[in-house]
Amino acid sequence: MAQRLQGRTALITGSTSNIGRAIALAFGREGAHVVVSGRDETRGAEVVAQIRAGGGKADFARADLDGSPAASSALAEEARTLLGGRVDILVNNAGIYPSPSTLDTDESTFDRIYDVNVKAPFFLTQALVPGMIEAGAGAIVNLGSWITRLGVPRGSVYSSTKAAMETLTRAWASEFGSQGVRVNAISPGVIASDAWDEASRSISNAMMRGTPAGEAGAPDAIAHAAVYLASDDAEFVHGVVLDVDGGRTGVAVVAV
């Protein structure tokens, strides 16, 4: 079976755990040379080792994306070096999820969420798109969230950052599409984490009660979507926000 990302190079932010890790492993299986990035070098090394053990190519680039252009530019430059001079695919996955209520959110928390979730991917995209345009091809996959369209009582700032990323997806698709760069996004639903305890798992499954899926999804579901959007299978797909949420936003939920 042909590998859909054979010969491609990819940078995946926040790929030392959960969704990002699943995307990195999937890209490695599909033939991409992957740069795994994040703050935790030990976990990053584990992901790299797992990709290499499966016959794939991977390297680790430590990054603390604080929203500054300098931090994003530094990661872009390191990724280009590790990948032989070019980055074909960028997955803007890294994000943080403090979820205070609106009345409990101070300015420093507000700024931190926007710095990591919006400014960092904005300036990383700015740093890498010129190389994609020069090559005449590239793919960017952003991560949104189901709560951009269904309000929840906590996490208003976080949900607004994900709405910003979905809007940037459409704007960038218009801005860069004619120059060979496809830009799309994935909107995950409630996705399980290995770090969850039983209480967290129970609450999250309850949030999916009445949906077609009926329970929280797995990180691999998002990884499969990312492979599709990054590959030539999606060559005619531009500016899409692909819901991978078990039907949470697209189907009327009737609790039973």
Give the C-alpha separation, 164 to 141, whole Å. 14
The one catalytic residue in 97, 114, 158, 228 is 158
Smallest Cα–Cα separation from 121: which of 179, 52, 68, 158? Answer: 68
- The set of residues, in sequence order, having a beta carbon less than 8 Å from that of 39 and lying 6+ positions away, is 16, 62, 63, 64
Give the C-alpha separation, 210 to 253, whole Å. 5
Q: Judge whether 249 and 241 are in contact, CB under 8 Å.
A: no
CA distances from residue 217 to 11, 15, 247 in whole angstroms, order as listed = 24, 18, 11
Q: How far apart are the two ends of the chain, measured CA to CA in Å?
A: 43
2: number of Cβ within 10 Å: 6
Q: Judge whether 34 and 28 are in contact, CB under 8 Å.
A: yes
Q: Judge whether 23 and 15 are in contact, CB under 8 Å.
A: yes
Decide if 97 is catalytic.
Answer: no
Q: Annotated active-site positions, please?
A: 158
